[in-house]
Amino acid sequence: MIRLSCRNTDAMIIGESDGLNLQEEFDNYKDRIANIIVELNQRKDKPGQWLQWMNLGYNEETVWYVKEFASMVEGRFDNVLVLGIGGSALGGLALSQALLKPYWNILTPEQRNNFPRIFFMDNIDPDYMNGLLDSLDLKKTLVNVITKSGSTAETMSQYMIIKDRLERELGDDYRKNIVATTDKKIGVLRQLADQEGYKTFVIPDDVGGRFSVFSAVGLLPLALVGVDIEEIVNGIKDMDLALKNTDIHQNIAAQAALVQYLLDTKKGKNISVMMPYSSKLKYISDWYVQLWAESLGKEVNNNNEVVHVGPTPVKALGATDQHSQIQLYNEGPNNKVITFIRVDNFDTELEIPKIFEYTGIGYLGGKTINNLLNAEADSTRVALADYKRPTMTISLPEVNGYHVGQLMYMLEVQTAISGELYNINAFNQPGVEQAKNYTYALMGRSGFEESAQTLNEKLVRV
Catalytic, 30? Answer no
> How far is it, in rounded angstroms, from Cα 231 to Cα 229?
5
* Residues whose CB falls within 8 Å of the CB of residue 358, separated by 6 or more in sequence, listed in order: none
Active site residue 294: yes
What CA–CA distance (Å, rounded) separates 90 from 104?
Answer: 17
147: contact with ligand PA5 by CB under 6 A: yes
Q: Is 264 exposed, middle or buried (0-12, 13-18, 19+ CB in 10 A)?
A: buried
In a 3-state reduction of DSSP, which class is residue 119? strand
For the bound state, the minimum distance from the C-beta of residue 433 to ligand PA5, rounded and expressed in Å, comes to: 9
Number of residues in contact with ligand PA5 under rule CB under 6 A: 15
How many C-beta atoms lie closer than 10 Å to residue 166's C-beta? 20
C-alpha distance from residue 314 to each of 70, 273, 285, 418 (Å)? 35, 5, 8, 17
Residue 206 touches ligand PA5, criterion: CB under 6 A:
no
Q: Is 351 a catalytic residue?
A: no
Q: Measured in whole angstroms, how far is the alpha carbon of residue 32 from the centre of its chain? A: 27
Cβ at position 209, least distance to ligand PA5 in Å = 2
| Local structure of 19: helix, strand or coil | coil
207 vs 242 by CB, closer to ligand PA5: 207
Stretch of 69-77, 145-153, 359-367, 446-454 lying at the interface with ligand PA5 (CB under 6 A):
145-153
Please enumerate in sequence order all residues whose Cβ is within 8 A of that of 327, keeping only pairs 6 or more positions apart, or say none. Answer: none
Q: How far is the CB of 187 from ligand PA5 (least distance, A)?
A: 8
Could you tell me the smallest distance in angstroms from the CB atom of residue 91 to ligand PA5?
9
Q: Does 148 bind ligand PA5 (CB under 6 A)?
A: yes
Selected range binding ligand PA5 among 119-127, 204-212, 243-251, 267-275, rule: CB under 6 A = 204-212
Q: How far, in Å, are 183, 231, 422 from residue 87 at the CA level?
A: 14, 22, 22
One-letter amino acid for residue 345 of the chain: N
Query: Does residue number 208 form part of the binding site for ligand PA5 (CB under 6 A)?
Result: yes
Give yes or no for residue 144 binding ligand PA5 (CB under 6 A).
no
Nearer to ligand PA5, 57 or 86 (CB): 86
Render 213-256 in DSSP notation, one character per residue.
TTSHHHHHHHHHTT--HHHHHHHHHHHHHHHT---TTT-HHHHH
CB of 317 to ligand PA5, least distance (A): 22
End-to-end CA distance of the chain: 51
In the set 154, 294, 412, 420, the catalytic residue is: 294
Q: Using CB under 6 A, which residues numbered 86 to 105 contact ligand PA5?
A: 86-88
- Smallest distance, ligand PA5 to C-beta of residue 85, A: 5
The stretch near ligand PA5 (CB under 6 A) out of 80-88, 91-99, 338-346, 350-358 is 80-88
Among 432, 442, 452, 455, contact with ligand PA5 (rule: CB under 6 A): 432
Interaction between residue 325 and ligand PA5 (CB under 6 A): no
Q: Does 152 participate in binding ligand PA5 (rule CB under 6 A)? A: yes
Rule CB under 6 A: is residue 210 a binding residue for ligand PA5?
Answer: yes
Under rule CB under 6 A, residue 280 binds ligand PA5: no
Choice from 206, 264, 294, 420 touching ligand PA5 (CB under 6 A) = 294
| Other CB atoms within 10 A of residue 163 CB | 20
Residue 429 in the binding site for ligand PA5 (CB under 6 A): yes
Q: Would you count residue 221 as binding ligand PA5 (CB under 6 A)?
A: no
* 112 vs 190, beta carbon nearer ligand PA5: 190
E strand or H helix that includes residue 317: none
18 binds ligand PA5 (CB under 6 A): no
Among candidate residues 61, 110, 323, 450, the one labeled active-site is: 323
Could you list the beta-strand ranges (E) of 44-159: 79-83, 117-121, 141-147
Query: CA of 317: how far to CAs of 44, 88, 270, 323, 369, in Å?
Result: 34, 23, 20, 10, 16
Cβ distance to ligand PA5 smaller for residue 148 or 163: 148
Q: Given candidates 14, 80, 85, 233, which one binds ligand PA5 under the rule CB under 6 A?
A: 85
Measured from the Cβ of residue 123, the count of other Cβ atoms closer than 10 Å reads 11
Longest CA–CA separation in the chain, Å? 75
Of the pair 19, 209, the CB lying nearest ligand PA5 is at: 209
Residues that bind ligand PA5 (CB under 6 A): 85-88, 147-149, 152, 155, 208-210, 294, 429, 432
Residues with a catalytic annotation lie at 294, 323, 436
